[in-house]
């Protein structure tokens, strides 16, 4: 994974650590796929299209969505 995905509630725009470059679209796509796989999400063909589309957004949007998936996957199930 490239820049760190926030692990808790987000109160301000998530950005890479000072001095680190913003992740490329390819790095952002890899981050999304890694987070989704860790959450047990198997993407279909349309999911793949949306992942590729979303990866071209700015890092703060990608990081926030990845954080939601990551945190939801960590919630205990009954």
Question: What are the tens digits of pLDDT across the range 27-39?
Answer: 999 999 999 999 9
pLDDT tens across 39-58, in order? 999 999 999 999 999 999 99
pLDDT above 90 (res 77): no
Does pLDDT of 18 surpass 90? no
Quote the pTM value. Answer: 0.88
pLDDT band with cut points at 50, 70 and 90 for residue 1: low
CA distance 3 to 16: 5
Residue 2 is predicted with a pLDDT of 56
Domain layout of the chain by residue ranges = 25-74
Contact 6, 14 (CB under 8 A): yes
Angle, CA of 33, 35 and 39, to the nearest 5°? 110
């Amino acid at each position: 994974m490239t820049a760190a995905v926030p692990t808790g509630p987000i109160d301000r725009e998530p950005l890479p650590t000072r001095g680190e470059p913003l992740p490329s679209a390819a790095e952002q796509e890899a981050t999304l796929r890694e987070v989704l796989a860790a959450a047990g999400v198997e993407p279909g063909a349309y999911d793949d299209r949306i992942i590729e589309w979303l990866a071209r957004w700015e890092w703060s949007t990608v990081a926030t969505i990845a954080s939601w998936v990551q945190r939801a996957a960590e919630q205990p199930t009954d």
